[in-house]
Amino acid sequence: MVSIRVTATHDTKEARTVPEYLPTAPYRGTRDFLPQEMSIRTQVFHRLYDVIERYGFLRYDGPILESAEIYEAKSGREIADQQLYTLTDRGGRRLALRPEMTPSVARMIAGNAGQLQFPVRWYTNVNCHRYERPQRGRVREHWQINVDIFGSDSASCEIEIFELIHDMMAALGASTDMWKLRANDRVLLESILTDIVEIPADKLRDVSSVVDRWEKYPREQLAEQASELGVSDKQFDRLAEALTSGASVLDDISQDARERSHLMHVLNSSAADLVIFDPLIVRAFEYYTSTVFEVFDANPANNRSLFGGGRYSNLASLFTPQQIPGIGFGMGDVTIHDFLDTHGLRPEPRSEVDVVVIPLDESLAEPARQVARQLRGAGLRTSTPLEARKLGKELARASRAGAQAVVIIGPDEWNAGTVTVRAMATKDQRQVPVASAVEAVQVITAGAETPSS
């Protein structure tokens, strides 16, 4: 609805009405995707889908609205207390727009566990909503690819997930020097804190939070935070040495921790080169119980985490007594597109069409549609003019649309059973029988798609 505002002119007392239109900008923190941007996103997503499905993962989906309590019970306090979009329906039920997919898929797995043949490989790509301050890498609505293996406690799952990440990044055109896969294990971190630093059990979670902030704050500030938790200067020095010694710290942890750690099985296998051990990787306590990992951009211009995940021993515990372990990760669209931009890997948008069929007279609209149907049947993206224009204008429009070929239908040619096929790049054109139009266009489009030597 357009509201009306009444104003008075300067030189008269007469009132005039000025329409007040609604704003055209999207809600803050959300984005419009016009066709060119959508083309780029579609290309990126489908490259990733192709790799994921080649590993045997099946795609699923779920509702954007869930009971608010599943996020309040399972998501982190920051999400539940500050970032959740909530509403109350007419039945008095508190609902929320999903801020993440993990609680939903846990509900789905628990509700269908009796019908599933574990382990299962599932993936999805959904939009999620969080009320946070928009900034680089963060918006209020984002799309996230979630990839999970449910129902297996084998370290083979870690290896498969790490291999999958390598192949997904390669599908985006990224070489391994552009990014790093850093991993830790809660079991290993607990051993470092307990056996080396001598942190008491009741302080492990709080001190782990300090570890999680290690790269974000100066050492003095971290030492102050640790001191407030009862960590002595000597303990803090041991902690700093352990966290910065890389994989060598693994020599000092307990044998029991080494045997219980899923990540140690990976590091002791032929797949060790897939991942870098890093005790600074912590991630959410609400989910992860063993392996945790993050992928980082190696370019200093975008030095940040791109996505991550980990292993959970019993994610579905809110919904079922059945213990269902798993491992997975979530890849958000915002950080991935920032990565592609940083490294010059952003694909070009596709053209609007491959070919345009142009009738020279309105009476030839039906023959144009016939030829267009034949071209579409051959898999060519084909359009015809919706309004009558001169040939020059239609050719210019076809060029702007990125058409590789144009089929021109003139009255004399059509009566003779022919059409004119024009290559837009070279402007070469020739008459061909109507029955050969598809083949003639395919020759042009195939040549246009062949990379130059």
Question: Please, what is the average pLDDT of the chain?
Answer: 92
The C-alpha atoms of residue 434 and residue 413 are separated, in whole angstroms, by 9
Q: Does 403 reside within a domain?
A: yes
Domain of residue 385 covers 355-449
Residues 87 and 202 in one domain: yes
What 3-state DSSP class applies to 431?
strand
Local structure of residue 11 (DSSP, 8 states) = S
Specify if 27 maps to a domain: no
Cα-to-chain-centroid distance, residue 251: 37
The whole-number pLDDT of residue 326 equals: 93
Helix axes 365-377, 437-449, angle to 10 degrees: 50
Residue scoring higher pLDDT (344 or 14): 344
Asked if residue 189 belongs to a domain, the reply is yes
Residue 30: inside a domain, yes or no? no
pLDDT at 453: 30
Q: Tell me the backbone φ, ψ of residue 125, rounded to 5 degrees.
A: -145, 105
Same-domain pairing of 310 and 422: no
CB 332 within 8 A of CB 144: yes
370 and 313 belong to one structural domain: no
Q: Is 11 within the bounds of a domain?
A: no
Domain boundary residue, one of 313, 342, 371: 342
Q: What is the pLDDT of residues 220-234, one digit of tens each?
A: 999 999 999 999 999
From 299, 316, 342, the end of a domain falls on 342
> What are the start-end ranges of the H helices in 55-132?
68-74, 77-78, 102-111
CATH label of the domain that carries residue 444: 3.40.50.800
Tell me which DSSP letter residue 448 carries.
Answer: H
DSSP 3-state of 428: coil
**415 plus 308 within the same structural domain:** no
User: The domain spanning residue 116 has which CATH number?
Assistant: 3.30.930.10
C-alpha to C-alpha distance for 167 and 173, rounded to whole angstroms: 10
Q: Amino acid letter at 180?
A: K
Least confident of 9-18, 173-182, 218-227, 430-439: 9-18
The pLDDT of 420-448, averaged and rounded, is 95
pLDDT, tens digit (0-9, with 9 covering 90-100), for 118-177: 999 999 999 999 998 888 878 999 999 999 999 999 999 999 999 999 999 999 999 999
Distance in angstroms (rounded) separating the CA atoms of residues 45 and 37: 12
Residue 81 pLDDT exceeds 90: no
- Residue 17 has a pLDDT of 78
* Model confidence, pTM: 0.90
**Length of the chain in terms of residues written:** 453
Q: Let me know whether 265 and 314 are in one domain.
A: yes
Which among 343, 50, 292, 338 has a CA at the least distance from the CA of 182?
292
Q: Output the pLDDT for position 451.
A: 41
The answer to whether position 249 is within a domain reads: yes
Residue 238's H or E segment, with its range, is helix 233-243
Alpha carbon distance 146, 329 (integer Å): 6
pLDDT band at 2 (very low <50, low <70, confident <90, very high): low
Number of domains in the chain: 2
Q: What percent of the chain shows pLDDT beyond 70?
A: 94
Give every CB contact of residue 406 below 8 A, 6+ residues apart in sequence: 355, 356, 357, 358, 394, 395, 398, 421, 422, 424
Count CB-CB contacts under 10 A for residue 147.
Answer: 24
Asked which of 298, 315, 342 is the last residue of a domain, the reply is: 342
CB atoms within 10 A of CB 201: 9
pLDDT for residue 13 = 58
Helix, coil or strand: residue 157: helix
Q: Are residues 178 and 298 in the same domain?
A: yes
What residues have CB less than 8 Å from 313, skipping those under 6 apart? 153, 289, 290, 323, 325
pLDDT tens-digit series, residues 331-378: 999 999 999 999 999 999 999 999 999 999 999 999 999 999 999 999
Three-state DSSP class for residue 379: coil
What is the structure's pLDDT at 149? Answer: 97
Question: Is the backbone peptide bond immediately before 103 cis, with ω within 30 degrees of 0?
Answer: no
Q: How confident is the model at residue 450 (pLDDT cuts 50, 70, 90)?
A: very low
Q: Each residue of 249-301: pLDDT tens digit?
A: 999 999 999 999 999 999 999 999 999 999 999 987 767 899 999 999 999 99
Q: Are residues 302 and 386 in the same domain?
A: no
Shared-domain flag, residues 267 and 154: yes
The pLDDT value recorded for residue 257 is 94
Instruction: Say yes or no to pLDDT of 32 above 80.
Output: yes
Q: Do the Cβ atoms of 329 and 307 come closer than 8 Å?
A: yes
